[in-house]
Structure 1
Amino acid sequence: MTRFIFITGGVVSSLGKGLASAALGALLQGRGYRVRLRKLDPYLNVDPGTMSPTQHGEVFVTDDGAETDLDLGHYERFTGVHARQSDNVTSGRVYLTVIERERRGDYLGGTVQVIPHVTNAIKEFVLADSGEEDFVLCEIGGTVGDIEGLPFFEAIRQLGNELGPERTMFVHLTLLPYIPTAGELKTKPTQHSVKELQSLGIQPNILMCRADRPLPEGERRKIALFCNVREQNVIPALDVDSIYQVPISYHEEGLDRQVCRHFGLPCREEDIDLKRWQGICERVRKPEGEVSIAVVGKYTSLLDSYKSLAEALNHGGIANHVKVNLNWIDSEIFEREDAVHYLEGLHGILVPGGFGERGAEGKIAAARFAREKKVPYFGICFGMQMAVIEAARNLAGIFGASSTEFGPTDEPVVGLMTEWMKGDQLETRRSGGDLGGTMRLGAYPCRLAEGSRVREIYDGAAEINERHRHRYEVNIAYKERLEAAGLRFSGMSPDGLLPEMVENPEHPWFVGVQFHPELKSKPFAPHPLFTSFIAAAVTQSRLV
């Protein structure tokens, strides 16, 4: 029997519902249950694929090619359960589904309304593909009171009635602000948030109260009394020094025990295994050294744009028992001034993915610095393309090397992909087509060259499978000239037409990949590329 836990938020956004959901999923896993996590987003975009990273953070891509909310990255990193396209739905996708059904005549001429048609579609998404899990955790984006979220709250209210309390639970995350002049945590915002939720017909079973200091027992009793919940179900969600401490912290406050009691499940202390998280936190808190990595990107004004990347670098640090200090550098700086001094003394340079010409020359300059100064370099997606263009210009003598993404060019070293194979199906795209959902998305195989550095990094594997999100590709027509200049194409698509990985054999560690390895890295299973990159940075730190 699958049980559903709905996680909502109130007072303000960015309280950490995604982390709370992921941590609860990890705790239930620790008790031996099978879990799946889902995100219901109220915005009208069909998916976040066409949204600027500075608007909504990174786009997390699943194996099956869905462009999803960044919270799905938290879910995967904490539980190891691969997300699917069915695990993220937006108002845009719901309304698109309903309108398509109306156009086909599926509603038999009836008037199409928010209730029941839109709410029924939301319930279908919640219940889909959930037969094998013990728990499905559904996070509702935004905060209670947002007008666009009303159909989602109504849908989960209906599910609570239809499935009953034995299969549903409501968890509400709120804020307890500390007022210095009063010298106390204030409970009134939480009371109002719960009142708003109750006005929609939803009574929370558990309140998770974000605070920057311990919650006094008197305040806990007050919240329980005014919000109509049991005192034991008022769970302090305190700030911690590492996000990987969150499952441990929530367990210590009794979150998983109260969830199990609600569903009438065993909740003995000896039934849970938290050794994985205790070991990770031990390594985070007691590193044996540290390295400094420059991340030269164009979306550094909102670091959530690179959330999975930052975590994957930290995972590489965990694997190597070191602390990773990240220096976020706006790539446009290199275009306004001679800014290579920002890179001096650092132990590694990473150029991440991105779109558009803005900041491209800065990324090329960073790749050149890394190549010439023998600093470990990791280029991901756009970062690989810029490294190839840099090598074309400065090693192969192709001085006009550029990308057609930036406009017409006589030397299209990087060009628009027009067709590729996905399994046994031919995918085709054209210039000027729709932007949403038209990139090369999801997991694709890559064959690694014998004797290459990347094959060694992947423990000798001849073929790997990684997630992609890109519209442009290194032009295979330039392969021979680039290899003659010293760049090795060490990973290719199975048909040999699409370059997936490049490396510089004469460099201590210089690797570019067309895919996004950060999407598959986890604290308990660091990605081998990030593990190897940070190991190279450790070696570099001994030379600087």
Structure 2
Amino acid sequence: MARYIFITGGVVSSLGKGIAAAALGALLQSRGYRVRLRKLDPYLNVDPGTMSPTQHGEVFVTDDGAETDLDLGHYERFTGRSATKTDNITTGRIYKNILDKERRGDYLGATVQVIPHVTNEIKEFVLEGNEDFDFVLCEIGGTVGDIEAMPFMEAIRQLGNDLPRGNAVYVHLTLMPYIPAAGELKTKPTQHSVKELQAMGIHPDILLVRADREIPEAERRKLSLFCNVRSSAVIQALDVANIYDVPLAYHREGLDDEVLHAFGIDPAPVPRMDAWKEVGERIRTPEGEVTIAVVGKYTGLKDAYKSLIEALAHGGIANRVKVKLEWIESEIFEKEDPTPYLEKVHGILVPGGFGERGSEGKIRAARFARTHKVPYFGICFGMQMAVIEAARNLAGIKNASSTEFDRNAAEPVVGLMTEWVKGNALEKRSDTDDLGGTMRLGAYKARLGGDTKIADIYGSTEISERHRHRYEVNFGYREKLESCGLVFSGTSPDGVLPETIEYADHPWFIGVQYHPELKSRPLQPHPLFSSFIAAALEQSRLV
């Protein structure tokens, strides 16, 4: 039977519960255990799909087409296990499920209430489908005391009683701030957070305490005394140089040992940490450095590109180089010449996005990369803008545009594809559908041309990658564009949808309609990012 670890947060948000859960999952995996991670989000959105990336960060897409919280990206990167739509749920989804049941009469006329109906729905989600796992780690979003999180806290409290004795452990992540004027680390915020958690009936077994310096033994004993946890269960979580040092850091502090002890597992299997040590060594001792310009439209909040940032770092790990990112707001290029911004960089990446704002700047970035022979990586929207650039400046289609910007565009080089085949099923969409219903979401297969750069990078002509977009490049312009040198090197298996583009006469210019960053992991860097950084390294020797 699976054992459950519930991870809560207190004091302030953004302490890194997702990283903590992912790192603990990696540590348990290193001991040979089968691990599943799940995220419970308190907000009322059904999913993050329609939320602005500047508010919530990126939307992480799973193979089965779920739009989920970005923490699921951390889970995948640290454990290597692909998440599914059943690994993330929100208050909005919980209430939607309950109201659908109520309308169908499933509750037989009962008054529908938070307890037991909402809490039962949460518990069913947590417990479902865990037969093949040794540990299930559940991260509860938000912080203790948030009104939105109360039903989730009550549900995990009930699970502590519902599960067999010894099958649930509670880990509470808090902050221990340093007050310069006093010259002290303060325990009081953690004490108050634990007190509030205890008032809900949850008694943490382990405290994971974030701090920017070593926590003295006296303060650990104080937290142990006032928070009613074992002294050895007060685990300091110090800042580290990079997130991939977290599993090793937590292991050194004894987090995984304490978790296994709380479950009564003794002696515990010996962990195998060699792979994480190798990753840390490659990051700490790079043999070079490359600079990549990321020309985007959400650059004010880096979490909007979280998986992209990590995938670029993975490309650096694969090539033993440090990857320095230059963040450039694409709208700048609509007013200024891009040359001063891009002439010294070793690679240009134009990521995904939605809407017209900043699109002309992305087109100019693509043109600079093409004409100056700088490695270019266009992802999703970045591929579409590269195609529009080629249409305008190579094929002479001066009015080339996207129906995303102008529904009545004279030359719709990019447009809304209304139907396509996925597997054996025909899927349809229209521009009047709900925003969440007009996406091509999740994993789709693609066929790559045998004599192409991208097939050589993958080492295969058959691939599967994750998508999240509404618009597609219009294949009606294929012949005219290919006559100018733009190669459609990958298509959907039925040949209807373009998936990848490249230039044969360019050192490295590739656009993809999908999001390869979603499948990149530190222990398994995505081949496109490894190849892109390798090309940037080659470019650095020329600049």
Please, what TM-score do these two structures have when normalized by structure 2? 0.99
What is the identity, as a one-letter code, of the residue corresponding to 2:114?
Answer: V
* 2:3–2:134 CA contact under 8 A, matched in 1: yes
Contact 2:178 2:184 in 1 (8 A): yes
Q: Is the 8 A contact 1:340 1:366 kept in 2?
A: no
* 1:37 alignment partner in structure 2: 37
- Structure 1 counterpart of 2:241: 241
1:518 matched residue in structure 2: 517
Name the structure 2 match of 1:418: 418
* Structure 1 range deviating more: 153-162 or 328-337: 328-337
Paired position in structure 1 for 2:28: 28
Structure 1 position 396 matched with structure 2 position 395: yes
Alignment of 1:200-219 (within 5 A): 200-219=200-219
Matched, 1:288 2:248: no
Matches within 5 A, 1:218-297: 218-268=218-268, 271-297=270-296
Correspondences of 1:367-382 after superposition (within 5 Å): 367-382=366-381
2:309 maps to 1:318? no
SS at match of 1:467: strand
Matches within 5 A, 1:119-518: 119-268=119-268, 271-407=270-406, 408-459=408-459, 461-518=460-517
Q: Distance in 2 between matches of 1:102 and 1:174?
A: 38
Give the secondary structure class of the aligned counterpart of 2:435. Answer: coil
SS at match of 2:14: coil
CA RMSD, Structure 1 to Structure 2 (Å): 0.8
Percent identical: 72
Asked whether the equivalents of residues 214 and 238 of structure 2 are also in contact (C-alpha less than 8 Å), the reply is yes
Q: Could you give the per-residue CA deviations for residues 239-259 of structure 1, whole angstroms, max 9, x where no partner exists?
A: 000111100000111100011
What's the CA shift for 1:165?
Answer: 3.9
SS in 2 for 1:405: coil
Distance, in Å, in 2 between the alignment partners of 1:7 and 1:158 is 15
Tell me if the contact between 2:7 and 2:170 (Cα under 8 Å) persists in the aligned partners: yes
Question: Residue 233 of structure 2 contacts residue 258 of structure 2 at CA under 8 Å; is this kept in 1?
Answer: yes
Measure the CA separation in 1 of the matches of 2:369 and 2:355: 22
Distance in 2 between the 1:315 and 1:165 partners?
41
Q: What letter matches 1:516 in structure 2? A: H
Q: What whole-Å deviation, never above 9, does each CA across 1:83-118 have from its counterpart, x for those lacking one?
A: 000000000000000000000000001100000001
Instruction: State the Cα distance separating 1:421 from its structure 2 match.
Output: 1.1
Q: Secondary structure at the match of 1:388?
A: helix
Task: Give the corresponding residue for 1:7.
Answer: 7
Distance 2:344 2:452 in 1: 28
Give the whole-Å Cα distance in 2 for the aligned partners of 1:437 and 1:97: 18
Q: Give yes or no for contact 2:338–2:365 (8 Å, CA) kept in 1.
A: no
User: Structure 2: 5+ residue runs without aligned partners?
Assistant: none
Structure 1 residue 267: Cα displacement: 4.5
Q: Secondary structure at the match of 1:332?
A: helix
Q: Within 5 Å, which residues of 2 pair with 1:109-120?
A: 109-120=109-120
Q: Is the 8 A contact 1:420 1:427 kept in 2?
A: yes
Shift of 1:164: 3.7
Whether contact under 8 Å (2:452, 2:489) holds in the other structure is yes
What amino acid does structure 1 have at the position aligned with 2:246? Answer: V
CA distance in 2, matches of 1:353, 1:217: 48
CA offsets 1:214-243 (integer angstroms, 9 cap, x no match): 000000000000000000000000000011
SS in 2 for 1:316: helix
Classify the secondary structure of the residue corresponding to 1:473. Answer: strand
Please, what TM-score do these two structures have when normalized by structure 1?
0.99
- The residue identity in structure 2 corresponding to 1:424 is N
SS in 2 for 1:485: coil
Would the aligned equivalents of 1:334 and 1:340 in 2 still touch at CA under 8 Å?
Answer: no
Contact 1:6/1:169 (8 A) holds in 2: yes
CA contact (8 A) 1:175 1:210 kept: yes
Query: Relative to structure 2, which stretch is displaced further, 428-437 or 228-237?
Result: 428-437
What count of residue pairs does the alignment treat as equivalent?
A: 542
Which letter maps to 2:542? L
Query: Given residue 125 of structure 1, which amino acid in structure 2 is its aligned partner?
Result: F
Question: Which SS does the other structure have where 2:293 is aligned?
Answer: strand
**In 1: Cα distance, 2:206 partner to 2:239 partner:** 19
Q: Compute the displacement of 1:266 (Å).
A: 3.1
> Post-superposition shift, 1:386?
0.2
Partner of 2:103: 103
Most deviating of 346-355 and 430-439? 430-439
- Which amino acid is 2:237 matched to? A
Q: Tell me by how many angstroms 1:158 deviates.
A: 0.5
Contact kept, 8 Å, 1:49 with 1:437, in 2: the verdict is no
Deviations 1:154-178 (A, max 9, x none): 0000001100441111000000000
Provide runs of 4+ in structure 1 moved above 3 Å: none
* Contact 1:8 1:171 survives alignment (8 Å): yes
Contact 2:347 2:375 in 1 (8 A): yes
Maintained 8 Å contact 1:41/1:141: yes
Tell me the amino acid that sits aligned with residue 201 of structure 2: G
Separation in structure 1 between the aligned mates of residue 77 and residue 189 of structure 2, nearest angstrom:
31
Hey, what's the Cα distance between the residues in 1 that align with 2:430 and 2:165?
51
Give the 3-state SS of the residue equivalent to 2:371 in structure 1.
helix
2:363–2:386 contact (8 Å) kept in structure 1: yes
Deviation at 1:437, TM superposition (A): 4.2
Q: Deviations over 1:107-140 (max 9, x none)?
A: 0011000000011111111111211000010000
Question: Could you tell me how far 1:423 is from its partner in structure 2?
Answer: 1.1
CA distance in 2, matches of 1:208, 1:308: 25
Pairs within 5 Å for 1:52-63: 52-63=52-63
Provide closer, same or farther for how the CA distance between residues 32 and 230 of structure 1 changes in structure 2, counting only shifts above 3 A: same
2:60 partner letter: F
